[in-house]
Amino acid sequence: MLQKAQPPSTLPQANDPCWCGSGRKYKRCHKPLEGRVTQGVVGPRRSVPDHIVRPAYVASGVPVRWAEPRVKSADIIERMRHAGIVAAEVLRLAGTMVKPGVTTDEIDVYVHDLTIERNAYPSPLNYNHFPKSVCTSVNEVICHGIPDSRPLQDGDIINIDVTAFVGGVHGDTNATFFVGTVDPASQQLVRVTEECMWFGIEAVKPGRPISDIGKAIETHAKKYRYGVVKAFIGHGIGEQFHTDIQILHYYDERANMIMRPGMTFTIEPMITMGSWQHKMVFDDNWTAVTSDGRRTAQFEHTILVTDDGFDVLTAPGAVSPMAPWNR
């Protein structure tokens, strides 16, 4: 049986022939892949008990959009508050799994089970045929990373993106975590990305255009010469996972929709050390990575526009009046 060539203990110089035997120079072959996230084995889709209420798209794997009101009723908002708290709690617990040697598939199993324990459905599962219950995006992966058999390595950063469907509505949140000991540059990237999210959230005011959010985020990111990903944006949310509200994380005067009390949407900036552009290098049609292979981080909350500002529906530590243990 043929054995796959393995990298030597001492790597060649840039202009030497690549160790893999391709005949190409090392700098043109495997050198650009050093330190990059490699695609592992994706395990089978997990089942959900019959008593868990599913979103409409689960049966076919394809969501059918409908004209959901942008301004939510008091009943929908109350249910979204509960869904947001469920998502926040699952995300917090998932973060405790993050350590060297743990696979992203193991994190997926934990998120899947935690969500079901709370009588909720993991929204990503079979949304446009996504095969897992959570998105795990490591290092240069911008978003939509599929959990697989790759173990986390000391020094990695990982974004865990959790969405829960319960009470007929979705709650969506994510955060970036350190794996073991992380270098100072990556620590700063993660810190500034979270700050960018909060600057965007604080720009939420009724009567103001949605472009204020992107302006606040981009202004802060530029102070550190970071890039702001443009291809992936925040979105309206409610009874549907994604509605027609689009939240750009960069300034564009054409984003002139006026924020009104009762609107709900996500703010989830993806901030990069280098290029803001993305590419698709895996064969899964989901995983987006930075075009230059440099690291990226992300944070996300589901936001409600109020009469005088905003409310964070996925705030960690909040208590839901709809939770069974509070009745």
Per-residue pLDDT tens digits for 59-106:
999 999 999 999 999 999 999 999 999 999 999 999 999 999 999 999
**pLDDT tier at 196, thresholds 50, 70, 90:** very high
Separation between Cα atoms, residue 102 and residue 108, nearest integer Å: 11
Is 2's pLDDT higher than 50?
no
Computed over every residue of the chain, the mean pLDDT equals 92
Separation between Cα atoms, residue 99 and residue 95, nearest integer Å: 9
Least confident segment among 104-113, 208-217, 256-265, 316-325: 316-325
Is 1's pLDDT higher than 50?
no
Separation between Cα atoms, residue 311 and residue 235, nearest integer Å: 16
What's the fold here for domain 67-322?
A: Creatine Amidinohydrolase (3.90.230)
Predicted pLDDT at 24: 76
pLDDT in tens, 268-298: 999 999 999 999 999 999 999 999 999 999 9
Separation between Cα atoms, residue 222 and residue 129, nearest integer Å: 36
Separation between Cα atoms, residue 183 and residue 186, nearest integer Å: 6
**pLDDT tier at 3, thresholds 50, 70, 90:** very low
CA nearest neighbour of 56 among 72, 44, 68: 68
Span 221-236, mean pLDDT?
98
**pLDDT tier at 323, thresholds 50, 70, 90:** very low
**pLDDT tier at 326, thresholds 50, 70, 90:** very low
**pLDDT tier at 36, thresholds 50, 70, 90:** confident
Claim: this prediction has a pTM higher than 0.85: yes
Comparing 22 with 142, the larger pLDDT belongs to 142
| Tokens 């255009």 belong to residue | 209
**pLDDT tier at 14, thresholds 50, 70, 90:** confident
Comparing 317 with 102, the larger pLDDT belongs to 102
Other C-beta atoms closer than 10 Å to the C-beta of 203 total 22
Sign of CA dihedral 123, 99, 189, 227: negative
Is 325's pLDDT higher than 70?
no
Order of strands across the sheet that contains 278-279: 141-143, 288-290, 278-279
